[in-house]
Structure 1
Amino acid sequence: MNHPQPPLRKPFGSNDIPAIRPGVNTAIGVEARPAFSTRATIFVLGIALLIFIGGMVAWSGWSVEHRATAYQDRSIVVDCDFAKFRQIMVRKNATAAIVEHSGMTLLDERIQDVALDTSGDDRPLLNAIRGVSKTDVAAVKQLTVQLDDPTLEASELVLRQNVDIQQDSFHVTTVSEGPAGRLENYKTTLDAVPNEAEAGTTEAVAGGTRIKLTVEMTVRVKVPRLFRHRADAGVQDAADDAIQGQADAIEQFIARYADDAFILPELNR
């Protein structure tokens, strides 16, 4: 019985390799396209970059509450001996003059407590009349001032003032009792001592009074996040102006009475 013979296969050669055309899927006979073309990829990346840049701009321009704190100090010497300086500061209303040169207006001044120590003064009344009192004085005042800066969003500020006067020193600390509008904290100090030559210098002792002033404030401002440094600079400028105003006020105030033979107290305070 004759069995049919299988057909002979041709030798496998290059003619048996199907031609492959670029872009054509030979398995299903359709054109194969890449998932994303180069142009589409660039477009997507560009959109993503624009979104990122837009987000950064929005973040930096978003307004935030920022607390800007500033500090400044100044030392001056007034041509008035310390005993007379002390007499002028006690008997005349220096507070109003100093406050008005700090961007504020004094509305009310109340003495809350006074303590006198005459243990170091054998003739307190006579020496007080002569203007050479050796009595130590400690006093507490409450000041109400009007704020002249509309950006602070407050019209008045209440301050607590502590005064410590001794025979060879004069110290005043003034601190806000609480926030007022955007002004969260305000503090000033005044320290006065007899002017003396510093060790190792040739400075002459002229009998004047050396005064050191400090101002510190914290202001809450609403600014774009990117411009917080400008807010800091603006508050620092305010502190600089305040310290300069106080220095000018004290120099002018002391010069007004320095040549008077008698320093009479103001009775309408």
Structure 2
Amino acid sequence: MRVLFAAPARQWDEWAPALRAACPEMTLCRDGDPASFDALIYAPGYPEDGSVLDFTPFTRARVVQSLWAGVERIVTNATLTQPLCRMVDPGLARGMAEYCTGWAMRAHLGMHHYRQDGEWRNGIVPPLAGARDITILGMGELGRAVAKSLLGLGFPVTGWSQSGQPVPGVRVLGGDELPQALASAQILICLLPDTAGTRDLLDAARLAMLPKGATIINAGRGTLIDEAALLAALDSGHLGHAVLDVFRTEPLPATHPFWANPHVTVTPHVAADTRPETAAPIAAENLRRAMTGAPLLHLVDRNRGY
């Protein structure tokens, strides 16, 4: 099968060996006649001239396999009529679990209180994990991985998703139960995708539903939170801290107020990355399924946007 690597050139040296090892029957190409390709492996940033990729000439392509879990940059492309699959990578899920667990533990233990300035602060004793309620918005693969990690440490975990689909060990709320999910969230972890229904989901009214002093960890998408409302809630003291890994504009401009706010920690979109060694076998399996007509893994629902 002939497959186009429709991703930025800088990713070729990292991805090509892993993809070829996982799928030796594939001929992986960086360019060529669009009508000659059986599939595309796609990552945002392609084409690199800033234009929008026209999928119309790819008349033979049976699948477009994204290397990213989020597909918001491609799912609205009107020329994309081929099946689109998002990446569900066990390495990405593990990385997200480690990131969210690490920052949740930092917030839980109040580690930011212990500045190395010579002052002996021994009057701050955190509760045990069982007394610290954590809510996760988004209970897909990533949310479930984060929940499993936190449950293992003894935290009570509430999950919220639009569907409210059950997850073992987690109190899962759905749909219009979002206010209840927020009301108990001493630590709120946001892992939702960017869709029409999630943009500005955490506006001033919903941020006000969080307990006083709550910490927000956003590793989903920057569009989930109204930035002005978040800064106001932090500056007023209603919220204690925000750890932000995703932003509406990336890289985050140096003049953005998040950088200077003492109640905000900025991380540069490093919460979880797709790792070739764990993701290439997933892509290979979908390529084989596409060639044989078998059901595809992680097929994107265009109406939902993920």
What TM-score, normalized to structure 2?
A: 0.24
Instruction: Return the index of the structure with the highest Cα Rg.
Output: 1
What TM-score, normalized to structure 1?
A: 0.27
